[in-house]
Chains A and B, each alone.
Chain A
Amino acid sequence: MRLIAQQLLKKITSNKKALLLGYVLLFVALAVLPFLLSNTVGRTWVRILDFALIYAMLALGLNIVVGFAGLLDLGYIAFYAVGAYTWALLASPQFGLHLPFWAILPIGAGVAAIFGVLLGAPTLRLRGDYLAIVTLGFGEIIRIFLNNLDHPINVTNGPIGINKIDPISIGGVDLTRTHEWFGISFSGVHIYYYLLLALLIFTIVMCVRLENSRIGRAWLAIREDELAAQAMGINTRNIKLLAFALGATFGGVAGGLFASLQGFVSPESFGLLESIMVLCMVVLGGMGHVYGVLLGALLLSVLPEILRSTASPIQRAVFGDVYIDPEALRMLLFGLALIVVMLVRPTGLWPAPRRRTILDQDVDRD
């Protein structure tokens, strides 16, 4: 069965016309998806989709560090926080700064990259568990800083967070308002969806290209065997720092978009649980595989919402009352799902093809 499906997939992907048709269909499906959702299950679901896209970007960034370079980073959410706060400080009444979108995006990415190098540099000699512990500490340090930087000089507003963050506006078009184009009404979440989708596609292309490049191979080499990688002339220090910096850049951009979509940031959005959630997306989807990570991110950000909205009505319909709080059920099912996946598919739901064994390896692959 699986073999037939594989052969079918191969036939489709080897036919250029069919491939093109597939892309066109996918594109159309992605384009109408928000309208489909808002007309059937409501506009909230478009918003949920927006956040799923942001999480996908975040997970792809972490995948560079954990999946490609094999550096277990438990404090990755710190870069998301740095990106979000950079955006918040540069486009809100907090300091009275209101920089435009195209200026903040690169600044946020740059600041996050600098933090990536700063936090990566002291950990270069560490590996595995030790690296995880130190990065976990760094992640918490950033959050605690944000929580306490309201005195002596008020920078971050402390635990209250920063409010009234400017929405993205492109060419004078405010993306949070409803606009009427070509006789179709686009609400704010719809427009954000298209913007985020475009950025996510760009992120995917970057990740795939990086993976199949000289730099990507160097990351994989470090993951496989650091000493052997050095013996091949790979400057492991710089290549690792590059992974930290690039991963942080994606995290920073995702954080900025999060801040502008939400309109509000506070330190509690960037706790350890968030870091672990993003790591779970990477591990569950298929560490080191761009599309697997994408799948993991979309599943883990959309499924809990479906559960949240259906758990209570179903319980009420079946048992006549709500016995288990949806939030508790969410964590229970999440834990179960993780255990099952790790037992049945330890390399993730959709692992990288290179991890396949020789038996189903495509010999004429180029």
Chain B
Amino acid sequence: MALLNLREINKKFGGIHALNKVSLTIGGGEIYGLIGPNGAGKTTLFNVITGVYLPSSGDVEFNGKSLIGRKPYQVAMMGIARTFQNIRLFQNMTALENVMIGTHAKTSAGPLGAIFNTKSTRSEERLIRSQSRDWLEYVGISSQIDYLAKNLSYGDQRRLEIARALATQPKLLALDEPAAGMNATETDELKLLIQRIRSDGVSILLIEHDVKLIMNLCDRVAVLDYGQKIAEDIPSLVRQDPKVIQAYLGGDLP
């Protein structure tokens, strides 16, 4: 069953046709890769899915419900979590606090509960803390629990962003270039982490420039070029597709 279903998405910015009739489906438990040259529209597609942009036309359906017109926070509450291409952590907060904010979507304590420190607020707060610790452990940075986000190493910041996204308990995790700037060892560890997340029942949408990572990890890959989907298949077939080679290497093919 399709978890995410995009139908003929168009997105125009003035005269620029950033997305041109892009359709794709992501199934439950799938790792779906999205690649393409710079400026192909990958991040735009991401922003359409997560509610940051409203598509000019077309429909996005998640878990049987349309996402069109929903705000980013509503999309997050419905079960799509994301990370950002240029890491966007809450810099002056600790790693633990970052993840605690991730639990916002699934918790409910209000201002009155906080002011009067009610029993339910206290028990929810304990739950938030222990869950957040677990998520930090899950991504492997529990030793940095009280460090400010801005003081973490680059790789750990990426991990923290994933932990924060997982804390929203998503059905689909959308990762925007998670391996950017990572060395080979860190990328291998990231691969293991993503596989583990999938095996725990979360589908993954992955934008990545690291072709090796995409080929090793993804069940299916779509290629965007100038806002159009030019290929979609299992990785080994996509890499042989003449249109993909042309998009990446340029020039006319015989």
Contacts and interface: CB of A to CB of B under 8 A. Distances in A.
Contact of B111 (A215, A217, A355): A215
Interface residues of B, number: 43
Interface string A323-344: 0000000000000000000000
Contacts of A216: 114
Interface stretch (A138-146, A181-189, A224-232, A314-322): A224-232
A209 B117 contact: yes
B104 A233 contact: yes
Interface in B84-117: 84, 88-94, 97, 100-102, 104-107, 109-111, 113-115, 117
B71 A214 contact: no
Nearest to A236: B73
B50 interface: yes
Interface stretch (B14-22, B75-83, B205-213): B75-83
Given A214-B104, A218-B104, A231 B89 contact: no
Nearest to A235: B73
Given A210-B115, A214-B125, A214-B128, A228 B93 contact: no
Interface stretch (A25-33, A79-87, A99-107, A357-365): A357-365
B146 to A, nearest CB: 6
Contacts of B73: 230-236
A357 B91 CA distance: 12
Contacts of A227: 52, 72, 84, 88
Contact of A232 (B105, B113, B125, B146): B105
A239 to B, nearest CB: 9
A202 to B, nearest CB: 10
A136 B128 CA distance: 38
Nearest to B169: A233
B92 A355 contact: yes
A206 B107 CA distance: 20
B148 A358 contact: yes
A125 interface: no
B111 A354 contact: no
Interface of A: 206, 209-210, 212-218, 220-221, 224-225, 227-236, 242, 246, 354-355, 357-358, 361-365
8 closest A-B pairs by beta carbon, nearest first, are A233-B105, A213-B114, A233-B76, A224-B90, A230-B72, A228-B88, A358-B151, A214-B109
18 contacts: A212-B114, A214-B125, A217-B101, A217-B104, A220-B90, A224-B90, A224-B91, A225-B89, A225-B91, A231-B50, A231-B82, A232-B102, A232-B105, A232-B164, A234-B101, A235-B71, A361-B147, A361-B148
